[in-house]
Amino acid sequence: MNCIIIDDEATARMIITQLCSKLPSLNVLEEFPNAMQAIKYLNQNEVDLIFLDIHMPDFTGFDFIETLKNPPKIILTTSDPNFAIQAFEYDCIVDYLVKPITQERFDKAIQKAESKQNKPSETVSKGEKVEATSGNDLYVNIDRRLIKIDIPSIYLVEAKGDYIQVKTEDKNYTVHSTLKKIADKLPDSLFLKVHRSYIINVQKIIDIEDNSVLIKKDVIPVSRSNRPELMKRLNLL
C-alpha cells in the first residue's frame, strides 16, 4: 500500500517511517509537517493509506478529513486517547493508535487496513449471523433482524461455544459468532481481550483484584499474559 504520513512533529514522522519499514507491504511516498501541504499533494496524487496526527497547528486531523471528497483509509496517530469515539464516526478511519506506538500494535492496525482493502463489504443474508459496524454502532443479526447496539454501552463480550454474549447497559444479546470476529470490529481504545473467553470495556471497570476485574456484577478472569496490557491501559496513580 502506498501511504503518506502527516504529523507536525519530526520525531513522530521518523518513528512511523521506521515502523512502516518493517512491513514490505507498505511504501511511504511522502511525509508532511502540516495538513495543507498534504492536501496539495493529494490533489495530484492518489494514496492507499494515510497516517494522520489529530493535533496540528491551525488544522486538526478531523478538519483535514473533512476536506477530502474521497478519503483513502486513514490510521490516526495521536498522544490523546480522548477522541477515539469521534474517530469512529468516519468510515475511512480504520484504527486509532495512541503514542507511543509499538510495532505489534502498529502491525495489527495495518492488518485491519489490508483487510478492508482486500475484502468486499460484508452483507447479511438469510441464515447468516454476522456483525457490521457503522460509526459508534454495532449491528448484529438475530433471528433475521439487524439489531443496532451502541458500542460504548457494551461492557462485556463473552464467548460461549459457537456463540458470543454481548452485554450492554440495557440488554444482553446472544449472537452466533466468534470472539475474534467481534474483536476486529470494536475500537481498541475502549476494549481489551483479557482472557481467551472475554473482552471487556476498560472504561467500565469497577475494581481489580489479583487476576480478576469487576464490571457491573460480573467478575471476569484476567489471564497472566493479558494482565500487563491491562495495567498499561489503566490511569494509575
Into which CATH architecture does domain 153-233 fall?
Beta Barrel (2.40)
pLDDT in tens, the chain (237 residues): 999 999 999 999 999 999 999 999 999 999 999 998 999 999 889 999 999 999 887 788 888 998 888 889 999 999 888 887 777 678 889 999 999 999 999 999 999 898 876 544 333 333 334 455 555 788 887 766 778 889 999 999 999 888 899 999 888 988 888 888 888 889 888 999 999 899 999 999 999 887 899 998 889 999 988 888 888 888 665
Tell me which fold the domain 2-118 belongs to. Answer: Rossmann fold (3.40.50)
**Domain boundaries along the sequence of the chain:** 2-118, 153-233
| Phi, psi (deg, nearest 5) at residue 132 | -135, 145
pTM: 0.53
Which residues fall within 8 angstroms of residue 53, CB to CB, at 6 or more apart?
6, 7, 8, 9, 12, 61, 76, 77, 78
